Chains A and B, each alone.
Chain A
């Protein structure tokens, strides 16, 4: 008796190595493409900070145009600071070019606004 012969009465329940590899590649590929596109779209979208900065700049511009006495050269509003630059426009003494810049706490530019207003 040299030994007993083993016979498999049923097939093993498992995935082949090829199937698993292809599956992993597929998942990584789909997730990668999705992340890349989503990141790109998000990067170009409006951030809440930017929207708030524009609102503050527009408010300041209105103040400069209609109530110039109430506006100062630079000011900060919570974590947004505003810088304003006013210069004559095209040598017309009745026109002013106003350039407003909103910056965050790290002094990075968030938004800017240019407008020509009539000198008060």
Chain B
């Protein structure tokens, strides 16, 4: 029998049902929100990957200015793409967005090595053989003059290496070194005259690659960059000799100056470009991807001295060391590596390359000729106690835009930033 006042009981039951249903609805709503969020971000990741692939397959000029586009003509596939020159490498920035949701990635781009042109050594053919002495070892293919390779007895040192003199295939070299892409050095040469703000050396500066570049110009007086940390999208220029102290921490930045001096004990990741000379003290370490380059598009009467890169002992460079002269004239550029230096990457020396005792190159050496200086004599095309190992280089190594023996295929060299 139903008691009187059933309405009150029904209202309570209805309230309980309503609360139960509401909790179910709320949980389903949050589940849906979570799923849709994940789905949206999966789609953003997918669009981002598509954008990165487009940048990697585009030529250098297509995305110099940021370009927004719809990938497939739908309303949820918008991306913004940009690719800019960053020294010998490129920087790509890709942003994908759906409504207010955005994902961004910034990455450095390098070029894949051309295995057909790659070797431990490319010595241009100057009708002179390559002579090896001491514990010299060449591992990997080598492009050598027609006169070949021979063991030699120099300064009382006999050859004590492998009987074959070379581990790898012997290929014939041309009279002229494989030329690098000339467009990039020409573009880089224009950046020596960049003007910007004065660098306050008491500050640490970090600039994102998603933001416009920060350019700092040092005064005409030779300045020492010390006790400062510079990271990211930063270019440092100077009108005269620029000195980098070991207390300066550089990470990913570019430096342009007529001459650059790096003090002993420096550690960093940067690309240094000079017109005349780069002098590196002892025990300096440049991590991958770094670059030391001399760029001379024209030689003024004042610039009659040879361009020079000089590395002190116990240094390591991971990346690229090169000299570029639009017209190779005497005196040729000279690159000098110190004792127990380690280079992981590529050396491109169209002038002379002087290697010292126990120099270790993991990668490739391109040169027109080696120099070996004893206290009394200067030897040409002699290698003494030097290791050149083309096979020891990481298979993930990527070269720069200006480097020879690289293909047009671009890959992500390093992830820089993500948002």
| CB nearest neighbor in B for A35 | B21
Contact with B along A38-65 (1 / 0, CB 8 A): 1001101110000000100010000000
A14 near B10 (CB under 8 angstroms)?
no
Q: Determine whether B415 belongs to the interface, using a CB cutoff of 8 Å to chain A.
A: no
Contacts of B46 in A (CB 8 A): 113-115
A26 near B57 (CB under 8 angstroms)?
no
| CB nearest neighbor in B for A45 | B32
Contacts of B5 in A (CB 8 A): 15, 19
Complex: A19 Cα to B51 Cα, angstroms: 66
Q: Determine whether B18 belongs to the interface, using a CB cutoff of 8 Å to chain A.
A: yes
Q: Determine whether B182 belongs to the interface, using a CB cutoff of 8 Å to chain A.
A: no
Q: Determine whether A108 belongs to the interface, using a CB cutoff of 8 Å to chain B.
A: no
Complex: A23 Cα to B10 Cα, angstroms: 6
Complex: A27 Cα to B9 Cα, angstroms: 11
B7 near A15 (CB under 8 angstroms)?
yes
Interface size (A, Cβ < 8 Å)? Answer: 33
Query: Which of B23-31, B124-132, B191-199, B247-255 is near enough to bind chain A?
Result: B23-31
Complex: A15 Cα to B7 Cα, angstroms: 8
| CB nearest neighbor in B for A43 | B32
Q: Determine whether A117 belongs to the interface, using a CB cutoff of 8 Å to chain B.
A: yes
A23 near B18 (CB under 8 angstroms)?
no
By secondary structure, the B interface counts as: helix
Q: Determine whether A37 belongs to the interface, using a CB cutoff of 8 Å to chain B.
A: yes
Complex: A96 Cα to B72 Cα, angstroms: 12
The listed residue (B7, B14, B35) touching A46 by CB distance below 8 A is B35
The listed residue (A41, A97, A114) touching B29 by CB distance below 8 A is A41
A13-B4, A15-B7 known; A118 and B21 CB under 8 Å? no
From residue B64, how far is it (CB to closest CB) to chain A in Å?
A: 17
B71 near A114 (CB under 8 angstroms)?
yes
From residue B396, how far is it (CB to closest CB) to chain A in Å?
A: 16
Contacts of A44 in B (CB 8 A): 32
Task: Give residues 79-123 of B contacting A (CB, 8 Å).
Answer: none
A38 near B2 (CB under 8 angstroms)?
no
Most buried by B among A13, A41, A42: A41
Q: Determine whether A2 belongs to the interface, using a CB cutoff of 8 Å to chain B.
A: no
From residue A42, how far is it (CB to closest CB) to chain B in Å?
A: 6
Contacts of B32 in A (CB 8 A): 41, 44-46
Contact with A along B47-76 (1 / 0, CB 8 A): 001100110111000000000000110100
Give me 14 other A-B pairs in contact (C-beta within 8 A), A22-B7, A34-B17, A115-B49 excluded. A13-B4, A16-B4, A31-B17, A34-B21, A38-B21, A41-B29, A41-B32, A46-B32, A54-B39, A58-B42, A92-B58, A95-B53, A117-B50, A118-B56
Chain B interfacial positions (CB closer than 8 Å to A): 1-7, 10-11, 13-14, 17-18, 21-22, 24-25, 28-29, 31-32, 35, 39, 42, 46, 49-50, 53-54, 56-58, 71-72, 74, 77
